[in-house]
Amino acid sequence: MLGALIAGSPTSGSAASAAGQSRHASLSHLRVSTHHLPSTGGPVTVRAKVAAAATCRLRVHPGVKLHHAVTPCRGGSVRWRLRLPANRTSRSVTYRLTVIAHAHHHTRIVRQRSITVGRAPAPRLHAMSISTHELPSIGGPLSLTAQLAHSRRCWLTSAPAMQGLPATRSCRRSAVRWRFTVPPNPMASSTQYTLTLHVAGIGSRVVTDQRTVTVAAQSPTCPGQTDTSLPITRAIFNDPTTGRPADQDAVVNAMINLICSTSPPANGVPASVNFAMFVDELPEVGQALIWAHDSRSANVRVILDGSNAELVDPSGVITPNPAYQDLVAGLPAGSVVLCGANAGVVPLPADGDVRRRAQATAPSTDPQVVTQAGTACAGDNILHTKLLAISSVDTAGDPAVMTSSQNLSPHSEQSAYNNALQVVGSQALYDANAAYVDQLATDTRNPTLGGDLASGPVRTGAGDVTPGFFPRNDSAAFPPDNSYDATNDRATDETAELLRHVSCTRPGRFAGSRHGATARTMVRIAMYSFGSRTLVTNRLVALATAGCDVQVVYTRMPTATRTTLVAGGITPVRLSDSAYPLPDGSTTRIFVHDKYLLISGAYNDGGTIARNQDIVQTGSQNLTQVGLHHNDDQVLQLRQTAIRGGGTTSVFSAYATNWGQLLSLAKAVRG
């Protein structure tokens, strides 16, 4: 603001008397170019008319350095040019300009004018923002930005006090930014910090603005968590033969750990946890899901096969399923979906359990023929998926997807070999799998669901990942039985299509099987149930005939499939022992429950042979007609390139090692 105008002073009495004594000397028409200047000061011109004077002098108060303050002025006009300095104070400054004309006989004539230089502008602070208003209990990085004007110094304070805030700094630029780390909150309740930005300008004037950030309460320990490290892309395997719970429960523990990594809300948006499971008899996983809802405010959604409401023991006694009851009681209404026309029916109809309901060969006009069968969501048999997809699992907000062969039951942990593939960091992959769960949650039959959701590969940090969803059919009707349908399979069998692109010539320097004199493209299968997937079987035989190294470990396989493989030069090895001796002297049944396929070598990629390719396909789908056309199933296919020095990729290498262990054990069991 400019200061008030100060009027010029009248001529002093002595000066007037002197002027009266010299009638010819005069000083008149004194003018200044402006009476007001902004705080920045500026140029000023002073003019006057003079008669019968010898010299003229200009004085400025407060003092300003002048050039040629005294100048001859015998007649006519006189002019001075000067510059008033910027005002560095919070008050306006008035400069009094005095012109003195000296005439003969020591006569002096005085005239005055004043100029006000406005006070320095107050500092301005606007557009202040922080990167987030909510942080997890561990605290984390925070950035603060603001737009400033007329500022000189800035500093931050916090209530309550926070260590590590930026020190006072010069901030003369229009845009400023601070980065600092908010400390962890050790309290059982959330802590809200009020951050105040202080901006000082000229004249010690200070303006402030505030923002708040809330650090979440120290969460209760996630039940069942065994690993607090950040999730990464990796393969997980259990081992039922050691008798140690940590080995038997490895895949289940990985599920729990991933759930326990669910991020708290970011800028008010909660994470989403999507869980779909065939058999859910372990309360520990449900407790972690409830924790994610209660302690992370996550939107938790659980989709279960319709058989999970009750448990049926070997003697036929029916009891409520505690794991299911816990989920229903601990999560908001509607969070748990029990799928299928036979959901909650106990005992299940003999033709509506894991064997699909027999249907008439001819299509029926009775809608009950379809809706009576099975406990699946989109399929007409069972929901066989074992999928976990979480929208955010770390401070960076990375999503994660885990696909698995692991059912949640003590039997599946203690007797069955299982695996899981965890992929972290791909939003596109998460979105695809969350969309699949969206469809399952509608509990609506859809024979073409897998094809409807089909998508190409998604680029991730570990390689290209292609999600696969089932049931897949080439028409809007389920096949009437479980037999091989060549037309349907050719349009829908993704595994057969994957194998069709495998090339047996020159696998590359860092991939394939290195046994023997010649390196060969390698195909390995670990499969619980290898059924009448004729396209898959025939393609494996064709690959073996072409020189690929093809080997299979399995638990269940029909005679016709085994006969075809053996005739083609592939000897599948069965792993299923009903009395395997454990270290403590007891015995248990062990078997392969994995459903994975490995390829290492050359791959025909759209007419171009790509070598050194490592491919893992794993998930919940058995190589059966039911798995392809009738079940709710899900798989991930991860394709990586083996590199010089590293050889096979880390995920593929883990699967290849696991497969070798299964083969060795199968051979040992057979003796």
- Cα separation, 618 vs 527, in Å, equals 10
Q: Are 152 and 169 in contact (CB under 8 A)?
A: no
Asked whether residue 154 is domain-assigned, the answer is: yes
CATH at 137: 2.60.40.3880
Which positions ≥6 away from 454 have C-beta within 8 Å?
A: 468, 469
Q: Could you tell me if 300 and 351 lie in one domain?
A: yes
Q: Could you tell me if 452 and 353 lie in one domain?
A: yes
String of DSSP letters for 217-248:
P-PPPPTT----SPP-SEEEE--TTS--HHHH
Residue 647: pLDDT band (50, 70, 90) is low
Q: Could you tell me if 17 and 37 lie in one domain?
A: yes
Mean pLDDT of 63-72: 87
pLDDT in tens, 387-440: 999 999 987 889 999 999 999 999 999 999 999 999 999 999 999 999 999 999
Strands 93-103 and 53-61: antiparallel
Quick one: pLDDT at residue 1?
31
Q: In a 10 Å sphere around its CB, with 0-12 CB exposed, 13-18 middle and 19+ buried, how is residue 65 labelled?
A: exposed
- Cα separation, 309 vs 307, in Å, equals 6
For the chain, what is the mean pLDDT? 88
Asked whether residue 400 is domain-assigned, the answer is: yes
CATH at 501: 3.30.870.10
Q: Which amino acid is at 103?
A: A
pLDDT in tens, 15-40: 444 444 445 788 899 999 999 998 88
Quick one: pLDDT at residue 645?
58
> Which SS3 state, helix, strand or coil, does residue 413 take?
helix
Q: Could you tell me if 209 and 246 lie in one domain?
A: no
Contacts of 311-314 with CB under 8 Å at 24 or more apart are: 311/281, 312/346, 312/347
Q: Are 551 and 523 in contact (CB under 8 A)?
A: yes
Domain count, the chain: 3
Q: How many helices (DSSP H) and strands (DSSP E) are in the chain?
A: 15, 37
Q: Which of 117, 139, 161 is the last residue of a domain?
A: 117
Q: Could you tell me if 329 and 245 lie in one domain?
A: yes
H or E stretch including 605?
A: strand 595-605
What is the domain extent for residue 323? 234-670
Mean pLDDT of 168-182: 87
Asked whether residue 35 is domain-assigned, the answer is: yes
pLDDT in tens, 311-355: 988 888 899 999 999 999 999 999 999 999 888 887 776 654 433
pLDDT in tens, 530-543: 998 999 999 999 99
String of DSSP letters for 320-333:
E-HHHHHHHHHS-T
pTM of the model: 0.72
String of DSSP letters for 255-272:
HHHHHHTPPPPBTTBPPE
Q: Could you tell me if 166 and 306 lie in one domain?
A: no
Q: Could you tell me if 113 and 176 lie in one domain?
A: no
Q: Are 357 and 445 in contact (CB under 8 A)?
A: no
Asked whether residue 534 is domain-assigned, the answer is: yes
H or E stretch including 296?
A: helix 283-296
Q: Could you tell me if 555 and 660 lie in one domain?
A: yes
Q: Which of 163, 186, 215 is the last residue of a domain?
A: 215
92 or 172: which leads in pLDDT: 92
pLDDT in tens, 177-197: 989 989 888 888 889 999 999
- 122, 149, 153, 197 from 204: Cα distances, Å: 9, 14, 10, 15
Asked whether residue 220 is domain-assigned, the answer is: no
Quick one: pLDDT at residue 487?
85
Tell me how crowded residue 43 is: count the other CB atoms within 10 A of its CB.
11
> Which SS3 state, helix, strand or coil, does residue 253 take?
helix
Q: Could you tell me if 239 and 155 lie in one domain?
A: no
Q: Could you tell me if 167 and 113 lie in one domain?
A: no
Q: Which of 97, 117, 137 is the last residue of a domain?
A: 117
Q: Could you tell me if 476 and 581 lie in one domain?
A: yes
DSSP 75: E
- Cα separation, 570 vs 566, in Å, equals 5
Q: Inform me whether the pLDDT recorded for 564 exceeds 80.
A: yes
Phi/psi at 453 (nearest 5 deg)? Answer: -95, 5
Mean pLDDT of 167-178: 85
Q: Inform me whether the pLDDT recorded for 651 exceeds 90.
A: yes
582 or 193: which leads in pLDDT: 193
Name the β-bridge partners of 265: none
Residue 12: pLDDT band (50, 70, 90) is very low
- Cα separation, 40 vs 38, in Å, equals 5
Q: Could you tell me if 73 and 151 lie in one domain?
A: no
> Which SS3 state, helix, strand or coil, does residue 179 take?
strand
H or E stretch including 389?
A: strand 386-390
Quick one: pLDDT at residue 354?
39
Q: Are 444 and 452 in contact (CB under 8 A)?
A: no
pLDDT in tens, 215-268: 988 778 899 999 999 999 999 999 999 989 999 999 999 999 999 999 988 877
Quick one: pLDDT at residue 483?
74
pLDDT in tens, 107-148: 889 999 999 998 888 888 888 999 999 988 878 899 999 999
Q: Which of 6-20, 76-90, 467-481 has the lowest mean pLDDT?
A: 6-20
Asked whether residue 66 is domain-assigned, the answer is: yes
Tokens of 274: 């999507």
Asked whether residue 1 is domain-assigned, the answer is: no
> Which SS3 state, helix, strand or coil, does residue 9 take?
coil
**Residues, the chain, total?**
671
Asked whether residue 3 is domain-assigned, the answer is: no
Quick one: pLDDT at residue 188?
80
